[in-house]
Amino acid sequence: MLHLENSQAAFDEAKKLMPGGVNSPVRSFANVDSNPPFIARAKGSKIYDIDGNEYIDYVGSWGPMVAGHAHPNVVKALQAAAERGTSYGAPTLLESELAKLVMEVYPTIEEIRMVNSGTEATMSALRLARGFTGRDKIVKFIGCYHGHSDSLLVSAGSGLATFGVPSSPGVTKGTAADTIAVPYNDFEVIERVMKEHGQEIACIIVEPVAGNMGCVLPKQGYLDHLRRLTKEAGALLIFDEVMCGFRASLGGAQAAYGVKPDLTCLGKIIGGGLPVAAYGGRRDIMEQVAPKGPVYQAGTLSGNPLAMTAGLETLKIITADPEPGEPDSSRVLTLKVKKLLLGWQEGARKAGVPIQAHQAGSMFGIFFNEHEVWDFDDSSASDQKAFAVWFKAMLEQGIYLAPSQFETLFMSLAHTEEDIDRTIEASRKAFAKVREMRG
Residues 42-67, mean pLDDT to the nearest whole number: 97
Strands 277-281 and 263-267, by their bridges, are antiparallel
Alpha-helical (H) ranges within 186-322 are: 187-197, 222-233, 252-257, 283-286, 305-319
Residue 15: what pLDDT?
94
Percent residues over pLDDT 70 in the chain: 94
> Who's near 69: CB < 8 A, 6+ residues apart?
42, 43, 44, 45, 46, 47, 57, 60, 273, 412, 414
* More confident of the two residues 159 and 57: 57
HSE-CB at 235 with a 13 A cutoff on CA atoms is: 27
Residue 155: what pLDDT?
57
Q: How confident is the model at residue 167 (pLDDT cuts 50, 70, 90)?
A: low
The pTM of the full predicted model, rounded to 2 decimals, is 0.94
Residue 165: what pLDDT?
35
Helix, coil or strand: residue 281: strand
d(CA 132, CA 298): 17
Q: Is pLDDT at 21 greater than 80 in this prediction?
A: yes
Residue 384: what pLDDT?
94
Q: For 110-134, give the DSSP string.
A: SEEEEESSHHHHHHHHHHHHHHHHT
Q: Is pLDDT at 414 greater than 90 in this prediction?
A: yes
d(CA 251, CA 241): 10
Residue 24: what pLDDT?
87
The predicted-structure confidence for 353-398, as pLDDT tens digits, reads as follows: 999 999 999 999 999 999 999 999 999 999 999 999 999 999 999 9
* More confident of the two residues 166 and 116: 116
Domain ranges in the chain with CATH number 3.40.640.10: 72-319
User: Under a CB-based contact definition with an 8 Å cutoff, are residues 364 and 407 in contact?
Assistant: no
Q: How confident is the model at residue 349 (pLDDT cuts 50, 70, 90)?
A: very high
User: Under a CB-based contact definition with an 8 Å cutoff, are residues 402 and 358 in contact?
Assistant: no
CATH of domain 5-70+326-438: 3.90.1150.10
> Who's near 257: CB < 8 A, 6+ residues apart?
208, 218, 223, 224
The predicted-structure confidence for 184-225, as pLDDT tens digits, reads as follows: 999 999 999 999 999 999 999 999 999 999 999 999 999 999
* CATH architecture designation of domain 72-319: 3-Layer(aba) Sandwich (3.40)
Residue 221: what pLDDT?
98
Q: Is pLDDT at 172 greater than 80 in this prediction?
A: no
The predicted-structure confidence for 77-110, as pLDDT tens digits, reads as follows: 999 999 999 999 999 999 999 999 999 999 999 9
The predicted-structure confidence for 130-157, as pLDDT tens digits, reads as follows: 999 999 999 999 988 887 776 666 654 4
**Of the listed ranges 11-25, 220-234, 329-343, the one predicted with least confidence:** 11-25
Domain ranges in the chain with CATH number 3.90.1150.10: 5-70+326-438
The predicted-structure confidence for 173-187, as pLDDT tens digits, reads as follows: 666 778 888 999 999
Residue 8: what pLDDT?
94
Percent residues over pLDDT 90 in the chain: 85
Q: Which residues are catalytic?
A: 145, 240, 268
